Amino acid sequence: MKTDVLGVLYDNVTMEEALEKGREILTGHKTCYCVTPNAEMAYEALHDESFRDLLNGADLVLPDGAGVVLGAKLLKTPLKQKVAGIEFAQNLLPIMAELGTRLYLLGSKPGVAELAAEKMLQQNPDLIICGMSDGYFTDEKEVVVKINEAQADALFVCLGAPKQEHFMQKHQKALGVKLMCGLGGTLDGIAGTVKRAPQWMIRLQLEWLYRLIKEPRRFKRMLRLPKFIFAALKKRMKG
């Protein structure tokens, strides 16, 4: 079931349900794409109709972040839980290993995908990683050819928003994969080149604060989070 949070139609699912949907797509025959909009992206979508359409055109829209969950609660349409993109991706790996899915990693700086692949294979020795490319390419078509030549079934697209969403939608027909997921900084997180917040901060819903302290240059971008909460409050007050 979809839940409308300021125009973005989220799938109201638990992590388990999201993974079940992922499995369904991986065993199906269609090329589907999954997006993981956080509050920053949802705020962007509020003012950018084409980006909103890109998000709502996805087969799976997962609420990445405590901000989205809080926004939904304020709007009195609560979501079951936060389903962070990085956790969804990591939980999907054993399923892919079981299904024999061929995974391609796209995005991040040169060398990061290789490091992330190493970590993924340590945890999931049966996983098939059929190829990888960094995210600083000039010819998109060449990348599409490489992914198809690798006979990938699944694609992690880690180019940052909105580049990754544009890439997935634009090449949906040309790509032979079944599932592609837009996952932002996930490869950095798995590789360990960008540290994730400690568990206690994640538990207290303070992951955003950790990121802000570690990467103060994100400050301007992160102002969208309080703006998103404010927009939800405003809508609630208007009834």
Within residues 179-198, the interface with ligand UDP by CB under 6 A covers 184-185, 187-188
Taking the complex as a whole, the smallest distance from the CB of residue 111 to ligand UDP amounts, in Å, to: 11
Three-state secondary structure call for residue 65: coil
Distance, CA of 86 to chain centre: 7
**Contact region for ligand UDP (CB under 6 A) — 4-12, 18-26, 94-102, 153-161?**
153-161
Three-state secondary structure call for residue 180: strand
Structure tokens belonging to residue 102: 């061929």
> Residue 150 interacts with ligand UDP (CB under 6 A)?
no
Query: Which of 159, 181, 191, 231 lies at the binding interface for ligand UDP (CB under 6 A)?
Result: 159
Site string for ligand UDP, 78-107 (x = CB under 6 A): -----------------------------x
Query: Which of 4, 49, 77, 109 lies at the binding interface for ligand UDP (CB under 6 A)?
Result: 109
Among candidate residues 154, 164, 152, 147, the one with its CA nearest the CA of residue 22: 154
b/e map of 7-34 (b: 16 or more CB within 10 Å)?
ebebbbbebeebbebbbebbeeeebbbb
Within residues 130-149, the interface with ligand UDP by CB under 6 A covers 135-136
Query: Which of 34, 84, 158, 179 lies at the binding interface for ligand UDP (CB under 6 A)?
Result: 158
Structure tokens belonging to residue 108: 């991040």
> Residue 63 interacts with ligand UDP (CB under 6 A)?
no
Q: For residue 97, how many other CB atoms are within 10 A of its CB?
A: 18
Nearer to ligand UDP, 79 or 112 (CB): 112
